[in-house]
Amino acid sequence: MAYETTKSKQIWGPLEWSVLQGKGIDVGSGPDPITPDTRPFDIDDGDANHITRYVHEQYDFVYSSHCLEHMHDPRLALAEWWKLVKPGGHIFFIVPDEDLYEQGVFPSRFNRDHKATFTVSKARSWSPVSHNVLDLARGLPDGELVSLVLQDQGYDRTLLRHGRVAGPVAASVARLYASLRKRGLRIRSIEGWIDRLVPIDQTSTRGASAQIQCIVRKRE
C-alpha cells in the first residue's frame, strides 16, 4: 500500500485539508509523504512503535496512512504518536478495514506484515487481533473525535469473499491464470470460477479504497 496517501487525497474534502495545516509529521510516510514540507518518519528514522525515543518536539498534526496495522501494539503506538500532537492540533490516521481488506482471514492474505486488524466499531470480530477505531480514538486523553469514516470508494462488494473460501490449489490456479492474462490469454470460464472462489485485493487490482479514516483533535 505504498501510495495509499495519494489515492486518499482524491476523495478528500475541505475537512481533511483544513487539518493538515502548520507543521506536521508523517509516520510511515514511505515514498508517498502527505506534503513536501511535512517531516517524514519511516523505518530508517527509527521504530514508530516508540517514536518519542526519536522525535522530541510537537506538531500541529500527526498524519499516518496504513502504518498502524504494522505496529506491535496499535493502542500503545497511537498513544506514543499522540504525545507529538500540540494542544489544538490533530492526529489523522488511516488503517485498512478488516472486513473489506483481510476479508475474514488473519494472518492477512494480502500483507503478511500486518499485526492487527481494524473495524470502525463492533461488539465482536472474527479477528483475534481486532481493534475498534472508535475505542482507540476515545482512549486518547484530552481527545475530541472530529471524524471517523469507512471509505470504500470503488470497492465492489460482490467480489468480497469472506473467510477461507479457496484452498491452496485454487489460489495457485489463480496466480497461474494471472500470469497467463499478462501474456494476453483469456478464458472466461476460468475467470468466473476464480471470481466465485478466490478473494482479491481490490486496493491493488481495482484501485479501490478499503479503509477507515479517523481524525482526533487534542483539546487546548
For 140-181, how does the pLDDT look when each residue is reduced to its tens digit (9 = 90+)? Answer: 999 999 999 999 999 999 889 888 766 667 667 777 877 877
- Identify the band that residue 65 occupies on the pLDDT scale cut at 50, 70 and 90: very high
pLDDT band for 186, please (50, 70, 90 cuts): confident
- 46 HSE (CA, 13 A, CB side): 12
Strands 117-119 and 130-132: parallel
> Which phi and psi angles does 18 have, rounded to 5°?
-70, -30
Is the pLDDT at 40 greater than 80? The verdict is yes
Instruction: Give pTM, 2 decimals.
Output: 0.89
Question: In CATH, what number does 4-156+204-218 get?
Answer: 3.40.50.150
Question: What are the structural domain ranges in the chain?
Answer: 4-156+204-218, 164-197
Strands (E), the chain: 24-27, 39-41, 59-65, 85-96, 117-119, 130-132, 143-151, 211-218
Q: Which of 29-33, 67-71, 197-201 has the highest mean pLDDT?
A: 67-71
Of the candidates 215, 157, 216, 220, the one whose C-alpha atom is nearest the C-alpha of residue 13 is 215
Length of the chain measured in residues: 220
